[in-house]
Each structure stands twice: as C-alpha cells, then as structure tokens.
A = this chain, B = another copy of it.
Amino acid sequence: MSSSVMRKLDVVSPVPADIDIANSVQPVHIDEIAKSLNLTPNHYDLYGKYKAKVLLSVLDDLKESKNGYYVVVGGITPTPLGEGKSTTTVGLCQALGAFLDKKVVTCVRQPSQGPTFGIKGGAAGGGYSQVIPMDEFNLHLTGDIHAITAANNLLAAAIDARIFHESTQSDKALFNRLCPANKEGKRSFNDVMFRRLNKLAISKTNPDDLTPEEVTKFARLDIDPDSITWRRVMDINDRFLRKISVGQGPDEKGMVRETAFDISVASEIMAVLALTTSLADMRERLGKMVIGNSKSGDPVTADDLGVGGALTVLMKDTINPTLMQTLEGTPVFVHAGPFANIAHGNSSIVADKIALKLVGPGGFVVTEAGFGSDIGTEKFMNIKCRYSGLSPQCAIIVATIRALKMHGGGPAVVAGRPLDHAYLNENVALVEAGCVNLARHIINSKLYGSNVIVAINKFSTDTEAELNAVRKAALDAGAFDAVVCSHHAHGGKGAVDLGIAVQKACENATQPLKFLYPLDIGIKEKIEAIAKSYGASGVDYSEQAEKKIEMYTKQGFSGLPICMAKTQYSFSDNAAAKGAPTGFVLPIRDVRASIGAGFIYPLVGTMSTMPGLPTRPCFYDIDIDTTTGKVIGLS
C-alpha cells in the first residue's frame, strides 16, 4: 500500500518560484498523512493542522515490526549554489510514494530560522519537490530549536552564576546552600547530586557524613573561566554577538568574561538531539556535556552544575519528530538540524528509527546527510549509524553537470554572479575531467558496504552527451547504477527511474556496514584514517591541537568517534582544490569535543558559527497579508 495520499501535481513549465509552487498546493490535514502510516491519534500530538509530533513511544508499540530499507543521500563536492540534495531526497520519496506505490518516509533536518531572514532562503527542497507548508517548515516549526536555545542558555547562565557564587562563599557556606537542612534539621542529597558524588567516588549518602575535604570537592566546582567552551546561542544572524563581554553590571562585581553567541543549531544540544536514542539516553547525554575544566584540569559537566535534569525537561518534547508532507502528499519527518562541520550534519536517529518501523519491510526511509559525501555520508556511517546500530542498503550521491564541470576545471562558480558560459553550453570534456570528484565519492561510499547510486540532478541546459559521460564514469567507478532525474521540474514523476534503481539496490544489498575506523584506537589514528579517505598524504597538528588531543585522551574521551570540521568545497582543507586532490597534508588547527553528543571534532580551518545580516536582508521582502494571514516574500 502506498503511503502517499495521492495528490496529483499540475506541473507548469518553466518551473515557477518555490514559494509559488508551495502556495499553489493545499496540504492535506496531517491526520491524513498519519493515517497513511497506520498511526492512530494516540501515537502523535497535533501542532496545528499540518504538523504533528510523532511520539517516541511508537517504537514500543512497533518493537516487533521489521525495518524497511534505509537510504542515505549524499552528494559530490558542491558548488556554492548547492546541487539539489534536499530536492533529490524529496523528489525520490515523491516517486516512491506517489508513483511506485511504496511506503516511504523522508527524513530531513530542521533548518535554522536565522538565515531565513538573512541572505539565503529556506531549505524545504525546491521546484516540484518540496516539503510543505513552507513557512511552517522554515519558521518555528514545533519549537524544537527554541527549546534547544532555552536549554543551552540555561546551562550558560548556570555556569556564570556558579562561578559568581563560588567566588563569594566559603566551601562550608556553599555546601550549606546546596544541601540546606529541612524543617526537621535533616539534610539530603538529591538525584543530580548523587551523580556528582559518584563521579567523585564518594559513596556516602548522608551530607553530614562528608569530611571537610569531601565537602570542598563536592561543593566547589572551581571552574577555570579560561577553559569554558560552552557559549550562549540564539537562532538569529547576529554578527555583533560573535565576540562579547558579559558580567559588566555593577552587581556582578567585576567578573567580566569574554565569550560569544553561536547560532542555535550549532549548540551541542542539537547534536545530542540528533544522536540520542531514547529519553533516558538523552538525559544521560545532556548531563554528561562538558562545559570546561576545573582549575585542576578535570572536566566539569552539566550534571556537576545540577542542571542535567532541568535541561532534559526543557528538551522532553523535542525528542518526538515532526511529521509533515511533501507536495505529493508523502510523509516527511523533520527532526534535528546539527551543523555539518562542527557537528555531524544529519537528521535524527530517532526519526529514522521510527520511520523504518512505520514503512516496514519493502518500504523506504530516505534520509539526507549534509554537505558532500566526504563529510555527510562519512559522518552518517561512522557516527550516526555507529550510535543507532542501523545500516543503510543504499547510498545515493547527487551530482550535477554544473558541479562536475567546475571540478573538471571550469571557472569559479560564485553565488549571486551569472554563470560562465562553460556551464550553459555543452562541454563533455570538462564534465569527463570533473568525474574524478564523483569517482572518489563513489569509491569512498562503497567502502561502507552499501550499494551506491548516482542521481544526476538534471538542469535544462544539460545535454545528452554530458549526462551519458557521467553515467559511464559512475558505473566505471563502481556505482550500482547512475540515473538522470528531473524531479525539480516534474516532481516525483521525474524521479521514477531513480526510485526503481534504489529499490533494486536495496533488494540486492548484502554487505553489512563496515566503519572507516574502529573506536578503540587513538584520536590521531582516527583522524588519519579519515584524512586518508580525503586523499591526504598526512596530517599536521598545531601545538594547540596536540595539547587538546593529549587532554581529551587523559580525560578518558579518546574512545569517541571523530567529527571533522572541514570545508565542504573540497576533499582537502583548501576550498579552491577541486576534483580529487591528493598528496596534501591536512592541517588540524584545534581539536574540540562534544562529550554529551559523543564525538571529538578537529578543526580543519576556521568555521563560522554565527552568520550575519547583509545591507539588505531578505526580511525586507517578508510580510504578512493581514487579511488572509498568509506569509509573503519568503524564499
């Protein structure tokens, strides 16, 4: 049975603006979409008429069910214009659900709200392959990012407040405030305090039994202000918050500190949400998040600050994925949207798990991995699948003639500038030369054991000869198949061939998931395994990076997977090195860690975690039609 509610698209050529297409289709009530997945009303909470949160408890109800096929969508190294990975993800699902009569769920990331008002528009796909309603997708959705902002900033406030209070109180006074006597004069530890006691290897349960040394160890976190890595966040492009000083008020007694805001989706809590597997697991991860070190070099966690439980309470509803729909009425899970450089850039494990049960055997879950497959697919396999225990049958690599020409030596592609004629006229040689990039992505993706399919996202200027060159190169490099698709112009109908190929790839999948590296080797060895997959001949560590690797190893975190923070515009650290560079030495500038989320992230270059607003931000065009309540000008 199909999981589409079968809405027929009236396709127009040339393709209208995304917002016009999105507004031309009346979405069905989300109850209908839920029903198509055999969900009953007790399985989900409505958020208006077109969004619902599917409750994690569905997994308990379906624990006897078998999973469907699991498909991950990556891409070749993109141009700054993007090569249509989201669009292909959505289009493929529209094909599977609305044309091939398969049960299917699309799993995508929730976009940050900030950029919607800045330079770039939304991220709901494009053309006739979109998630709707577009304004709800791009704006508050069901509040998950707002909850992340609140939780992240509660922890930040707790850090500075604790340092402040410790600075003015004796150990004894601190302890008495943390464990006050009740009316009967009795003191007690509460749950979160036992976590700290445990960590300190203090097994006493009565506060009055602690020795003065134990009182000090327990009550004084002694946070080293210079070691604090936890920053505040905001889901706004606010460049003036990139570097700030806090604590300048007279009441804060001169405890001024330099810090910064990141955009909310860069919060470790977003990565926790994406990688968690249950409410209990989320509680543990949130409590384990490290915010900095004590002056003696021990990691200080959210639970040490007593706030891990409260963070989980703020986050409790976010664990339920948001159900939406495509233009052709197939179901979509929108859930989590971590950065793809300082985090792993994939939507949530929880959404994929629920979706796999809901579609069941013979059904398909298609999930997108951010950036090119050197980053997105690599992290999908080595981080996300490692934590979820799931393995994909098929890995898709989205390619465009435009990007391949760039890799073949075409002139630079710059956002906002007209394309060079090389990109608008047939040039088979340029395409062929660029296929080295595609070939490496195929070879790397095959290493994990899934069948690899190349989806060629066709533009109107592409020629048959160019498309054939890509197909040939893809098959030569070991792709299971390479398929031209036109879902942007035609919706699901334009991706039917891709759908058929994906089905075949899944049905023929045999190999189990293999990782690029085991967890029980050193941090450097893991970094080097990934660097090798980029084509690097070696790795160069800065002094700072060396120090941090040593520190994390000493702190007992070396068993975590690695999440490389690298440019998406090249296999190497140099965004200008197109094609398939080799022989370069990958520089590691610094190494950081998201202990709660569960990965170490080496920085290859500088990553911006707070965008800005241009002179004329897109908010100039955004308004509301106050008679209909409809949003206008969103793109």
A251 to B165, CA, bound (A): 34
Asked whether B624 lies within 8 Å of A309 as measured between CB atoms, the reply is yes
CB of A203 within 8 Å of the partner chain: no
- Known A238-B156, A240-B246, A279-B626; contact A620-B193, beta-carbon cutoff 8 A: yes
Interface centre among A49, A232, A243, A313, by most chain B C-beta atoms within 10 angstroms, is: A313
User: From residue A415, how far is it (CB to closest CB) to chain B in Å?
Assistant: 15
CB of A20 within 8 Å of the partner chain: no
Asked whether B161 lies within 8 Å of A239 as measured between CB atoms, the reply is yes
A312 to B624, CA, bound (A): 7
Return the CB mask of A172-196 against B: 1 if under 8 Å, else 0.
0010011010000000001111000
A249 to B615, CA, bound (A): 18
A143 to B140, CA, bound (A): 8
Asked whether A147 lies within 8 Å of B156 as measured between CB atoms, the reply is no
User: From residue A595, how far is it (CB to closest CB) to chain B in Å?
Assistant: 20
Asked whether A192 lies within 8 Å of B620 as measured between CB atoms, the reply is yes
Within 8 A of B (CB), among A235-252: 235-252
Taking CB atoms, residues of chain B closer than 8 Å to A180 are 616
Within 8 A of B (CB), among A100-159: 113, 117, 135, 139-140, 143, 146-147, 149-150, 153-154, 156-158
Asked whether A239 lies within 8 Å of B164 as measured between CB atoms, the reply is yes
Picked from B234, B243, B631, the residue with its CB within 8 Å of the CB of A313 is B631
User: From residue A21, how far is it (CB to closest CB) to chain B in Å?
Assistant: 19
CB of A459 within 8 Å of the partner chain: no
Taking CB atoms, residues of chain B closer than 8 Å to A622 are 309-310, 313
Picked from B158, B234, B614, B631, the residue with its CB within 8 Å of the CB of A617 is B158
CB of A623 within 8 Å of the partner chain: yes
Binds B, one of A40-48, A90-98, A405-413, A497-505: A40-48
CB of A314 within 8 Å of the partner chain: yes
User: From residue A321, how far is it (CB to closest CB) to chain B in Å?
Assistant: 15
Taking CB atoms, residues of chain B closer than 8 Å to A113 are 150
A154 to B617, CA, bound (A): 11
Asked whether A616 lies within 8 Å of B178 as measured between CB atoms, the reply is yes
A47 to B158, CA, bound (A): 30
The closest CB in chain B to the CB of A173 belongs to B615
A622 to B312, CA, bound (A): 9
Asked whether A150 lies within 8 Å of B192 as measured between CB atoms, the reply is no
Asked whether B245 lies within 8 Å of A245 as measured between CB atoms, the reply is yes
Picked from B140, B169, B245, B316, the residue with its CB within 8 Å of the CB of A317 is B140
Interface centre among A149, A244, A308, A620, by most chain B C-beta atoms within 10 angstroms, is: A620
Asked whether A153 lies within 8 Å of B623 as measured between CB atoms, the reply is no
The closest CB in chain B to the CB of A282 belongs to B626
Asked whether A252 lies within 8 Å of B242 as measured between CB atoms, the reply is yes
- Known A46-B47, A161-B612, A177-B615; contact A620-B306, beta-carbon cutoff 8 A: yes
Taking CB atoms, residues of chain B closer than 8 Å to A251 are 239, 242, 612
CB of A280 within 8 Å of the partner chain: yes
Interchain residue pairs with CB less than 8 A apart (15): A45-B49, A146-B150, A149-B149, A150-B236, A153-B238, A154-B236, A156-B238, A193-B620, A243-B247, A279-B624, A307-B619, A309-B619, A309-B622, A316-B624, A316-B631
- Given A154-B236, A157-B236, A243-B249: 14 more A-B contacts, CB < 8 Å: A46-B46, A47-B48, A48-B53, A117-B310, A140-B317, A146-B149, A153-B236, A160-B240, A239-B249, A240-B246, A244-B244, A245-B245, A279-B626, A309-B619
Instruction: Kindly list the 6 A-B residue pairs having the minimum CB-CB distance in the complex, ordered from nearest.
Output: A309-B623, A146-B146, A310-B619, A157-B238, A242-B249, A243-B249
